[in-house]
A and B are shown apart, each in its own frame.
Chain A
Amino acid sequence: MELSYYPGCTLKTRAKNFEDSAIASMAALGINLKEFPRWNCCGAVYSLADDDLIHQLAPVRDLIRVKEQGQGKVVVLCSLCFNTLKRANLLMRNDAEKRGTLNSFMDEEVDYNGEVEVVHLLEVLRDDIGWKTISDRLKVPLKHLKLAPYYGCTLLRPQEVAIDQVERPTILHQLLQALGAEPIDFPFAAKCCGSFQVVGNREVALESAWNILSSVVSWQAEALVLSCPLCDFNLAGKQEELKQKYREFKGIPTLYFTQLLALALGLDSKICRFELNYQDPQPLLESKGLL
């Protein structure tokens, strides 16, 4: 099966480990993620201003590209891109006036009326493939691995784009269980990592990250599982600085869920590009005999 795929900027560079492991593991599960041509940056965040439509142009253009390919569905991996594209899509579906304005402004493009479905990779894993199929295809069950699944904000909020229940999501927990691991239920799984504040209000973002990491450590998880490159930067990329600030923190390995999926399906660990992980999970994985 082939599905149209939107990578977004960061997955092509800093988060190539996320993309490569995703594409490889989906291929192993029989799904070819095909990047559609001429995609553009979606803008990363969805504009919350009701009176200004200029920021909707970029994500809507991407959706038009998908429509032009004759595709009814597009799979997104980056959480922020998913949120932005899906919200822009709902805007085009539900607001007739804004839809008219945007379509007539982009007169060089075909009209777009929300024909495309925007889904996240986790939804494809849950709904199109199914946890049982994944479990059945495991080559390397991730036994004795205590993992803290971290969702971040943009997969769950607002309600209309949520891929799972907002207050107590379980989709990542279920994936980890299907992979044979032990998901740890810690209370801050959906608490914001600090997001873009790491640029404008650095200290604040560091402390937000620390609030989450200290909870993960106190609940005795062995590694943190991430689903977003921005969360990765805050929760993994800043760990060295946090170790300086909070002496009791020894750091915690981090991985993308797709890297775990690739490993569990028996793919070569090289495809996971662990060298790009801010916090190397390889020593932990080796100690569990998973590499």
Chain B
Amino acid sequence: MDRRIGVYICHCGLNIAGTVDVAEVVRYAGTLDSVVIFRDYRYLCSDIGQELIKKDIKELGLNRVVVAACSPRMHELTFRNACQDAGLNPYLYEHANIREQCSWPHTDRELATDKAKALVRAAVRRVYYHEPLEVKEAPVNPNVLVVGGGIAGIQAALDIANGEHKVYLVEREPSIGGHMIQLDRTFPTLDCSECILTPKMTEVAQHPFINLLAYSEVEEVSGFVGKFKVKVRKKARFVDESKCTGCGVCEQKCPWKTDSEFEAGLAKRKAIYIPFPQAVPNVATIDKKLCVYFKTGKCRACERFCEERAVDFSQVDQTIEVEVGSIIIATGYDIFDSRLMPQYGYGRYDNILTGLEFERMTSAGGPTGGRVLLKNGKEPESVAIVHCVGSRDKNYHEYCSRVCCMYGLKYAHLLRELTKAEVYEMYIDMRSFGEGYEEFYERVSREGVNFIRGKVAEIAADPVDGKLIVSCTDTVIGKVLRVCVDMVILCPALKARSDTEQVAKTFAINQRADGFFLERHVKLDPVATPTDGIFIAGCCEGPKDIPDTVAQASAAASKVLSLISKGRITLESAIATVDETRCLGCGRCEETCTFHAPKVVAKNGVMVSEINETLCKGCGTCAVVCPSGAMSIRHFTRQQVTSMVEALTEA
């Protein structure tokens, strides 16, 4: 059929026209085969620009369109839609990038123009071979998986469940609550963290649309947006959840102890335990690694004393398979291990605590009943709060952990409220960016706190009285200070969980260079990932405070609700296709494909490969390994690609 190609060159203001001679490129486009119309315009992506193209399609009977402009990531979809509006199949469109790949990186006008001409030539030759492709849709399963039961996961689950869609909330610990349940008072309002979180936790427990899978982990994920299959391993608690009333007698009777994760190591818990009084679900769990029964077969004290007969040593892990249409990952953060900075003496000298440990100390329900105490049981007379431990530091984590300045101020306030201690706050910059934050800083400044602008270099202990000597520079007055205190509180960096790489692999998402999960676009799409249907929210996307975490959780929920509301997704059209006359049925494609799209089946007595069009992503791997050339990718056929290569390599 006669090709009637329309070529449009965009100026993009001066972005392209400032370096590339657009007039020359347009003139050149007109000399190419089958080009019936060639225009340029200042901003083709504008309504007027798009109208130009649509008008030409209708009036000049164009059957192929080329736009040379910015990156296809910006406007390929815009122009494809414009073509579709004008009645032309969107895949009969080709986009040439003469901005990010031409006018932006180069400065020589002549060479840049030559390159732009080559890129246009390549696009025109390629579009000749474009075929119309069908746009198919598939339904979206309205169920949702939320991974992580901290505040982010809880918020996201509630938002979706309130829309009356089913949510599977998977949490690896025995109870939901995450790190937020460990906090005492939250800045800047000093709300009690447990008091604001537990109502939400109860809501989750009682919500008819939330299926809470606590003490469970996601093992395997397969499928794609709209249709994920997830295998969840529900770990054995060795306690029957339906019988346990959370009375706690088993815990009292158990003789075996270890450090409590909830109390950040400041207190012990038993082998059979309920992590904290407001745990959801409020049932006991047996720590298999600590429980003596699993090592020697003895004890069983918990079983004997349980009136409900809820203890069941025969329990095994269960695998539960669920089908969901979308996934929100809200797995939270870990704290930087301060022992990696031995110059601070953490773990070596007494009375040096991390922020999380101090949270447990000031909590009324914590190991000291809310009192700030030294190891010897006395109250400290002086405390130093050290900022940026492992943050803003090329040697550990280059980024700023965002919340430490504010909780450092919070500790200063609490110390002045709860004790008579002299408080020193050693900081580099005070980051109080949020609502009420700067005001809180001012408030704390009026409470007799000593601010010293300098990063602490070393902390040593006095061998005689055990007092801690903190060395820092007051950079403002230019003196090195030795500050003697009873207690030091370190503000360690928030970092990505230690198993982030593993989790990323399971869900086929990526990590950023700083270890946290990669978002689709740092400004314009912070809760989506490059993998369709999988969203991230909260600190797993980077350190942040509770307001931002909750905002992200709701943002991710809204994205999911939008998917569910539409109820269908558009499948990739540029997918693999088999030329059955050439296919040998060798199965290489089936072996190589990570999405399990091709399958060798019998057709009319011959073994040939068949593509599951809903699974195929069009990555092209099968086409590369196919020995007979039977496999090709629609919209990236050999003819299309080689025509571009030949056009580009033409003198």
Contact = CB atoms under 8 A, between A and B. Distances in A.
Direct contact of A and B (CB under 8 A): yes
Contacts of B466: none
B342 A220 contact: no
A158 to B, nearest CB: 12
Contact of A218 (B341, B343, B345, B464): B464
A187 B341 contact: no
B605 interface: no
Contacts of B348: 168, 185
A167 B341 contact: yes
Contact of B342 (A167, A186, A188, A218): A167
A186 B464 CA distance: 12
Interface string B329-357: 00000000000011101001000000000
B463 interface: yes
Contacts of A220: 463
Contact of B461 (A165, A167, A168, A187): A187
B342 A165 contact: yes
B458 interface: yes
A219 interface: yes
Nearest to B343: A167
Contacts of B345: 187
B460 interface: yes
Given A218-B463, A218-B464, A219-B463, A187 B458 contact: yes
Nearest to A159: B395
A219 B349 CA distance: 14
A159 to B, nearest CB: 9
Contacts of B464: 218
A187 B470 CA distance: 12
Interface in A183-198: 185-188
Main secondary structure of the interface of B (DSSP, over half): loop
Nearest to B462: A218
Nearest to B461: A187
Interface in B438-481: 458, 460-464
Nearest to A186: B463
Nearest to A191: B458
B9 to A, nearest CB: 45
Q: What size tier do the contact residues of chain A reach?
A: 10 to 19
A187 B342 CA distance: 10
Interface SS, A side: loop
A168 B343 CA distance: 7
The listed residue with most A CB atoms (<10 A of its CB), out of B341, B342, B461, B463, is B463
Contacts of B458: 187
A168 B342 contact: yes
A160 to B, nearest CB: 14
Nearest to A168: B342
Contacts of A167: 341-343
Interface in B585-635: none
Interface in A129-177: 165, 167-168
Contacts of A219: 463
Interface in A205-236: 218-220
A186 B460 CA distance: 9
B61 to A, nearest CB: 62
A187 B464 CA distance: 13
A182 to B, nearest CB: 15
A187 B458 CA distance: 9
Interface in B299-356: 341-343, 345, 348
Contacts of A188: 460
Contacts of B463: 186, 218-220
Chain B CB within 10 Å, residue with most, of A168, A185, A187 = A187
A186 B469 CA distance: 13
A167, A185, A188: residue with the most chain B Cβ atoms closer than 10 Å = A167
A186 B343 CA distance: 12
A238 B418 CA distance: 49
A220 to B, nearest CB: 7
B464 to A, nearest CB: 7
A167 B462 CA distance: 18
A68 to B, nearest CB: 39
A219 B348 CA distance: 15
Contacts of A186: 463
Contact of B460 (A165, A168, A187): A187
Contacts of A187: 345, 458, 460-461
A66 B461 CA distance: 45
Contacts of A168: 342-343, 348
B480 to A, nearest CB: 12
B423 to A, nearest CB: 24
Contacts of B461: 187
Contacts of A218: 462-464
A220 B464 CA distance: 10
A186 B458 CA distance: 13
B393 to A, nearest CB: 13
A165 B462 CA distance: 23
Nearest to B341: A167
A256 B379 CA distance: 44
Contacts of B341: 167
A226 to B, nearest CB: 21
A167 B464 CA distance: 23
A166 to B, nearest CB: 9
B357 to A, nearest CB: 21
Nearest to A187: B460
A162 to B, nearest CB: 13
A93 to B, nearest CB: 23
A75 B342 CA distance: 29
Nearest to B349: A187
A160 B461 CA distance: 29
A121 B310 CA distance: 62
19 contacts: A165-B342, A167-B341, A167-B342, A167-B343, A168-B342, A168-B343, A168-B348, A185-B348, A186-B463, A187-B345, A187-B458, A187-B460, A187-B461, A188-B460, A218-B462, A218-B463, A218-B464, A219-B463, A220-B463
Closest 3 CB pairs of A and B: A168-B342, A187-B460, A167-B342
Given A165-B342, A168-B348, A186-B463, 15 more contacts: A167-B341, A167-B342, A167-B343, A168-B342, A168-B343, A187-B345, A187-B458, A187-B460, A187-B461, A188-B460, A218-B462, A218-B463, A218-B464, A219-B463, A220-B463
